[in-house]
Amino acid sequence: MNILFRNRETLGGALFALLGVYLLREISTFTVPMEKVRSLGPEFFPNVLAWALTLLSVALFIQGLRLPPAPIIPAAYRGRIGLRPLSVLLGLASFIFLAEPLGFVLWALLFLAVVQYMLGERRPFALIALAALITAALYLVFVTALHVPLPRGPLPF
């Protein structure tokens, strides 16, 4: 376990090698046409790439073993629970589930206000003003100018 977490190279090498082996197993399940009229089948290119990925990952792992131990998590990230990036990610993921029922305008207003708050903005006017301004600008560009059918929701626009 210690070898695995020795530095970013050993961890990366192990993870990519795992991915390579998994892909090789997946490729072996590809259905290859019985009458293989062509010289190379659909499995050839992914196979070469998966082998290359596995071998390169092993090389990276060996490189890591020759390097001194180093922290995997950068100093700048240590001690943080990552609420800020998590709020951005969850907020964006909510677009997939909430944009249809809420509509783009309501969802964007909520998203901007909540994520701004999570990133440290505490002035209510700034929160609301920027959310309204950016939502209106995006609506004008995408819906009015480019005719992109963004989800409407309960609002008439």
**Binding residue count for other proteins, defined by CB under 8 A:** 67
Within 8 A by CB and 6+ apart from 88, the residues are 115, 118
State the DSSP string of 20-64: HHHHHHHHTTPPPPSS--SSS-TTHHHHHHHHHHHHHHHHHHHHH
Distance set, CA 23 to CA 30, 87, 131 (Å): 11, 32, 43
34 binds other proteins (CB under 8 A): no
* Residue 22 tokens, joined: 């998994």
2 or 73, CB closer to other proteins? 73
Residues 84, 87, 91, 92, Cα dihedral to 10°: 60
Residue that the structure tokens 């020759």 belong to: 66
Q: How many helices (H) and strands (E) does the chain have?
A: 5, 0
25 binds other proteins (CB under 8 A): no
101 binds other proteins (CB under 8 A): no
- Selected from 59, 65, 140, 155, the binder of other proteins by CB under 8 A is 59
- Smallest distance, other proteins to C-beta of residue 2, A: 18
- Selected from 24, 121, 128, 152, the binder of other proteins by CB under 8 A is 121
102 binds other proteins (CB under 8 A): no
Q: Amino acid letter at 19? A: L
**Site for other proteins, residues 134 to 153, rule: CB under 8 A:** 134, 138, 141-142, 146-150
Residues found near other proteins in the complex (CB under 8 A): 8-9, 11-12, 15-16, 23, 26-27, 30-33, 38-46, 49-50, 52-53, 56-57, 59-60, 63, 74, 76-77, 80, 82, 84-85, 87-89, 91-93, 95-96, 99, 104, 108, 111-112, 115-116, 119-121, 126, 130, 134, 138, 141-142, 146-150
